[in-house]
Every structure is written in C-alpha cells, then in structure tokens.
Amino acid sequence: MTLEEIKHLHWRAGFGIQEEVLSNKSFNKKQVIDALFDDSASALALNVDVSYLDGINLSDIKTNPSLAKKLREKNRKKALDINIAWMERMTYSKDTLRERMTLFWANHFVCQDKNPKHILQYNNTLRSHALGDFRTFIKAISKEAAMLKYLNGKQNRKRKPNENFARELMELFTLGEGFYTELDIKESARAFTGYNHNFEGSFVFMKLQHDYGFKTFLNRTGRFNGEDIIDIILENKQCARFISDKIYRYFVNPKPNITHIEAMTEVFYKDYNIEELMRFVFTSDWFYFKENIGAKIKSPIELLVGMTKTVPFKFERKKDVAGIQKLLGQMLLKPPNVAGWKGDKAWIDASTIMIRLRLPSMLLNNAVIPVDEYGAFNERFKSRFFKKNNGKLPFKILPDWDMFLKNFQSVKTIDLADIIIQGKFSKGTKAFLDTLKKASKRDYCVQLMSLPEYQMC
C-alpha cells in the first residue's frame, strides 16, 4: 500500500491518520486490513455514570414535579456527557473501525431521546451490532426503548395502530422509497403492535395490545409479528442493495457506482453479515481508485475528530463541544430528523464553509492563520479580533502542540501536506502555498488545515 492508500483507508474506516501510519509499521494491505478488523473484534460499551436514575420510577416523576424538573436538568447535562464521551471514544480508542461504523449506523437508525440511560443503551446497541448480523441488529433496534419512543412504537396498539415506525423501517432503514405500498405500511404497523418498554429501558411485549390477526405484507399473508416482518423485508434483495448503496456513498464515494454497489449487494445478500461486507469494500481494488481518494466532504464530526488526531486538543468547557458541533451543523445525538444528516454537499454553505475554514486557527492558534505575505495586516486583524471579543476567544481550548511536534518528528515541514491533506490540491492553491515560507511546522500545519482541501477526505 502507498502512503496515500493507507491514509485513505484510515480516513474512511477510521477518523484519520494514526501514529502507526507515521511510524510506518506495515504497509502490507492484508495485514493492515486484518489489523483494522482485529482491533475492532469486540465491542466495549461506552460508559457514562447514570446511576442517579436508579431506583426512580415513573410514578415518582408523575407525583413529584420538582423531582421531575431536577431530573430534566440533570438529564440534559448527562446527554452532553455522553456526547463528549463518544467524541473521546472516537478520538482515542483503538477500535476505530467499530467506532466509525457506530457513527454510520447512528445516522442510519436515526434516533433521539432525552433519557440518558436509554440514549446510552441505544448507542451501545449500535456499537455492539456495528459489524455484526444486520438481521439481529435491526430486530434489536425495533425493540429499543429510545426507538419505541422516537417513532411512536409504544403508541402503536391493536385498537389504533401508529404507522410511524413501520413507515420509516421500510423507507429509511431497509428498502428505500418505492418498494412497498401504503397498504404494506398499514399492515406491518399492525404486526408491531404491543411493542413497549419499561422505565429501565428493557423491551416489554404487551400481549393485549398486539394484533394477532392475519396481515398481508409484501404479497404474503400470515399472522405476522414484528420479527416476521423484518424477515420478509430481508428476503427482498432490494434491502441488501439499499444498505450497500448507503455504505458505498458513505465509505467510498458520494457519487454511486452501480457496478460496485451491485457487487456489494451480492456479498451482503448472502447472509447480511456487515463485517464481511466491509471487508469486501476495503479489500476491493476500486476502493483505492484515484477518483475515490479525497472525494468526500468531511462531516463536522470527522473534521473535529480528525483534527484532534493530528493536533491533540481538549475543550476546557464542556458546553463548547456542543457549541462547535451546533455551529458546524452536526450535534451528536441530536439529528435534524429521522432521515438524519444528508451529508456531502449539504454540510457546506456560505456560512458553514467560513466557520470550517476558520476552525483550525480558532481552536489551535488563537484565531490566527499565519500569512507571511500579509504579516502586518494579520497583526491588525488579530488586535481587532481580540478587541471585538474582549480579549477572549469564543472557545477555551488547550492544544497540545508538543505532542504534535513529537508525533511529526520524522516528517519534514515541506512534506507535511502529504500527511495532512487527502487528494489533489487545486492549482491556484498550490501556487499560493508556494508563496508561504513554511519556516515553522506548527504554522504550516495551521495553514494547511485552513484550506478547503482539508475539508476533504
């Protein structure tokens, strides 16, 4: 594998370059990919202390408004803790592939909740099935407390079915629009009636609310329950194709390639094994084609985690994590709707592009992007900037430049671009970079990260 290829793999299967890429341990393709899967072999649950909810039950909350209020506040804070713990997990854990898959699935089985215990449980369900069996995965999702709330599954009762989950199950989770009818939605909603959960977040099946009658679904008739419905959906190859298409656009190239997606569909349809599918993608020659390298616009989370991996930094104030995510348009655990973030070009508009380009200097360099050419102007800009902001940066950050210099010891400053940037430079920018002095590795790093090219991976 070339350096470019190994970077490509790490940006797509993880969140950017790792130390071991720099230390050049093994560039043997099979070994590199095997290591990626070995490191993610088991799922380690994300842990945040939510024990304050232990022993509390629903009637406590209903009868004690001040307790309910206190809990709501505490829940909000905890949700932020989970967000931060998840960010740290993505940045520092060894099982980067599993974390990358978890983030992917979180934007596939999109869900939002207020109860930290249920949020955490849902997040860990995503994590534990991330590379597993898609059939088991989706059945688990259909029984998750957070999902039962988010898509009104718990309100889906024999007497009055609620179609919300049944509709999104097919439209967004398995088949995509156009492969089922409104009648299929109505009938499958009946099959999921009676699904509920208790306060702890465990699945509860309420027999009396379940409709045991005959249902006709995707041209089959039977006394189907929810699991039957999922099994019938998976029999349709369109499901394997729908997931393969989504994985291709996310992991390979936002522009779909029908031939490659069909090949993935064949692999996935056999037994819906997610790990096998991903192995097929990462070992395929086409994954490393030039047109796929640097073709993807980083999501805000990819951008933030990727930066942290190059120049380690920590937010001093918790709320800044949420603030930055919000500014960039992707707050973890708070998707815009059940379709999730659109991604790709939708991340970028006139306002987010400017925030993104300013972000590295804001976070790592006191808001200054070094420019020799405009040295004097830059000083003026700096003093004005600080005057306007009362001498304060909008965020409190501790960047660890010493660690950066240590990690990048073996890399010459002029070669920094080869490590930091994925894909091709635009012509004019190459000329612009030539005008820069590159005297300081740190300055040059900030400059490179402030380029539109750094937004690509």
Partner 1 sequence: MCAVNVFARISNVLNMERRKFLKNSALASSLLLVPNFVKALETQPLNTLGYKRLVIIQLSGGNDGLNTIIPHNNEIYYNARPRLAITQNIIKLNDDLGFHPSMAPLRALFDNGEMSIINNVGYPNPVRSHFRSMDIWQTASHANEYLQSGWLGRYLDEHGNQPYNAIEIDNQLSLAMKGEHFNGIATNNHNVLYKTSKNPFFKGLSDHFDDKHLSEHNLGYLYRTMIDARSSAKYIYENTKVSLSQQEYPQNAFAKQLKNVAQFINSGLETKVFYTALSGFDTHANQLNTQKRLLTQYSDSISAFVKDLKRNNTFKDTLILTFSEFGRRVKQNAANGTDHGAANNIFVIGKKLKKAGFYNKLASLSDLDDNGDIKYEVDFRAVYKTILNNWMNVSSEGIIMSKHNSLDFI
Q: Give the interface with partner 1 as residue ranges (CB under 8 A).
A: 152, 155, 157, 159-160, 162-164, 167, 171, 177-178, 182, 254, 294-297, 326-327, 329, 337-339, 344-346, 348-355, 357-358, 361, 369, 371, 373-374, 377-378, 381, 385, 388, 423-424, 426-429, 431-432, 435, 447, 450-453, 455-456
8 A C-beta contact, residue 454 and residue 423: no
Cβ closest to partner 1, residue 46 vs residue 363: 363
Closest approach, Cβ 410 to partner 1, in A, equals 28
Q: How far apart are CA 186 and CA 215, in angstroms?
A: 9
Which tokens belong to 320?
Answer: 């800044």
Which tokens belong to 274?
Answer: 């997610």
Q: How distant, in Å, are the alpha carbons of 294, 302, 349, 351, 358 from that of 354?
A: 20, 17, 9, 6, 6
Cβ closest to partner 1, residue 354 vs residue 414: 354
8 A C-beta contact, residue 183 and residue 201: no
Closest approach, Cβ 357 to partner 1, in A, equals 7
Closest approach, Cβ 185 to partner 1, in A, equals 8
Q: How far apart are CA 376 and CA 159, in angstroms?
A: 74
Q: How distant, in Å, are the alpha carbons of 37, 125, 444 from that of 130?
A: 12, 8, 37
Q: How far apart are CA 103 and CA 90, in angstroms?
A: 9
Closest approach, Cβ 360 to partner 1, in A, equals 11
Q: How far apart are CA 101 and CA 103, in angstroms?
A: 5
Closest approach, Cβ 329 to partner 1, in A, equals 5
Q: How far apart are CA 170 and CA 350, in angstroms?
A: 34
Q: How far apart are CA 103 and CA 95, in angstroms?
A: 13
Closest approach, Cβ 371 to partner 1, in A, equals 5
Cβ closest to partner 1, residue 236 vs residue 352: 352
